Structure 1
Amino acid sequence: MLLGTQKINAQGHLEIGGCDTLALAAEFGTPLYVMDEALVRENCRRFTQVFTDRYPGEVEVSFAGKAFLTMAMVRLVQQEGLALDVASGGELYTALKAGFPAEKILYHGNFKSDEELAMGVAAGVGRFVVDNPYELKRLSELAAAQGKTQAILLRVTPGIDPHTHAKISTGQEDSKFGISVSSGLALATVQEALSLPGIDFKGIHCHIGSQLLDSHTHEDAAEIMVGFVAAIREATGFVCTDLDIGGGLGVRYLPSHNPPSYEEFADSVVSAVVGALEKHALPFPRLMLEPGRALVAEAGTTLYTVGPIKKIELAERTKTFVSVDGGLSDNPRPVMYDARYSVLVAGRAAQATDTTVTVSGKHCETDLLFPELALGEVHSGDILAVQTTGAYNHGMASNYNRFRRPAVVFVHDGQADVVWERESYDDLLRQERLPQRFLEE
């Protein structure tokens, strides 16, 4: 399963963006996150274009920064003309330091502190996506205190089970995110937003879940959301100008995964939205979408070096453990979500995958990265290339066991640029302080 600019070169090595992955591992070390810049740019353009071509009104595509956020990625998003979602003060700070225009930022999160709310208002973010009535009141007070009026969307829960992993389902009634439509609380909160000082209510937002491999739940959500827009108009006379249906489109982690293409996804979503708008005789609002994983996941590859290989003789078979120089700290998703990946031996990328092994990390945990993996011939010193790691791997990386977080390189036309330096051992101690009494003999 070769993705983006990946290919097998004349030496039989996996190549990405014109760069030999064995050469990348030798130059930058492992573990190493490799991002296919050309594929990210192509995805940004295609996703925007397919919706712009199909929807009669205005379209705004925002990159969901939580999937992968560095200053280089922020600049890429800006160059490609997308808006940007942030979900914390740190993500907002990163975007602003990279020079991203604040008016094209959407600020998410179910608990934004007063400091974060005030920071966003002062920066002039384009939209706050308000999650709850408490936040709405605090934002009103803080915006008014700065003498500003803040545009918002209200996040609502359409009450849909997206049938994905429980830990990435967010649109059902018992989600921690958003305000229930069916209970009537969402409408009451809209009415409050329309009356509060410092608040400019623009419309509604939902996000139903992640890694969705069909578009059916997005179609259902679109109908419910447009129905709620109609209910708002009936109850208040206000017509929403913004309708945000979030993200969630899945990607190919395994060859068996078959998510809709961008074109198929746009056909389904736009058809559902337009049909519902016409049913309720509503004007076309700005249609907003928030892809994250769908833009960057398949553009990312993680390189590991193979260390010890251990064979355990069991009664019925031999089990082979292949240890690599990373694990839980650079990819927690197998532990968190039972995530599965496609893996290649980078130096023999076309070899038959006729041997089953279990790839384990080097942490003091049972961090089985890839159990029962059909990998083929593998030796100590080989480089493993794990595909579709461009979303959430870097963002969720940690210093568990005092591991140093890996470097990130963007590859493009045979050039590799470090956009996130590998942490040093000194970096691990940078925040440490020893009280004076610990220094006394």
Structure 2
Amino acid sequence: MSGDTRKTAEGLAYLSGFGNEHCSEAVPGALPEGRNSPQRAPLGLYAEQLSGTAFTEPRAYNRRSWLYRIRPSAAHPAFHRTGNGGLRTAPFTQSVPDPNRLRWDPLPEPAAGTDFLAGLWTLGGNGDAAQRTGVAVHLYHADASMDRVFSDADGELLIVPERGGLLLRTEFGLLHAEPGEVALIPRGVRFRVDLLDDTARGYVCENYGAPFRLPDLGPIGANGLAAARDFRAPVAAYEDVEGPVEVVNKFCGNLWRADYDHSPLDVVAWHGNLTPYVYDLRSFNVLGSISYDHPDPSIFTVLTSPSDTPGLAGVDFVVFAPRWLVGEDTFRPPYFHRNVMSEYMGLIEGAYDAKTSGPGGFVPGGGSLHNMMSAHGPDRETFDRASAAELRPQKVDDGLAFMFETRWPLSLTPQAARADHLQQGYDEVWRGLERHFGTLR
């Protein structure tokens, strides 16, 4: 194919599951047999390895894929600095971490012609992108498809659509991501985002640290939580496009651009265990108590990025998916707590069972931040209702919420700290939690 022709085969397929070896070819015979880098790759292609971890990481955690492409990635002109827009990167030193509980309404409507990249808006984060530690929390709101290509050398991008479907055109092929699903783009992988609806809105976790992986199950056993087979990898689909293509690279916090004379989304075949993927959050196998008490939210972990301290994640991605509550003599909504981890929570649809009141409310597209050891839990309305509820088996299926939970406090960007959509008076939701000691038995 040549000129402006684009291969647009469906990019959804089950390819052996999360973290396993995958392979796909858009043209029969494009994958070499038995060798990663033969003297001459098939069909006149170039062989190129993309490494997502150090070469010497243990086999179980080593991530790499071989790409067989029309031109090698090395064939590109120089990059030059371009504006960062609303995108910011760790270290976040323009403000001190805030111990107060904070909540935001959804992002305002974007200016006409805003694509996914221009629509990224950084709320805050921690760590240091150049040291490959920590995380950033972004939101996006776009009303136009991208006519340029983007890659992020600083971290992998976990995209959580809340409004509007996305078609992700990646080097590995095509992926659809709808609200209720999440998509991951590995560090350094080039991609373009087409909108499948008039507008698109959602959340992004930029993970600077170790690649996301499935959490260990420990005493849970072999089954439960997210199943490897439910992660969808793309089928190879390539662009053989001659002509100017703007390519933007995020590197150590800044955006750099170059004008290629061809599309870099020209991978005809690939194999490996480093790949973009999509996961349907409704596939999550929720576990919980079937006797009494409320399990810790760690039981809802979909993906984790481990740190150098066992059991303390750089970031966990947690989903509160539809589930049954059956605990006896149990306060069923999330309990009051203070946590050594910091929690950014977003809402994809419906309502969250511990946040029903307050100015502006907790609504889809909005978010809350509870930094480490900040006391939080159900608002007064939820507490009163749950304390008096008749404890029959209860199906919770009227909302879909998630958390980015991280080991370090999240520092806000100035734009988030001063945003018009930052709710004032969030603390009011806990006002009126009265003293009952000595009056009730």
Please give the TM-score of this superposition, normalised by the length of structure 1: 0.24
Higher strand share: 2
Higher helix share: 1
Please give the TM-score of this superposition, normalised by the length of structure 2: 0.24
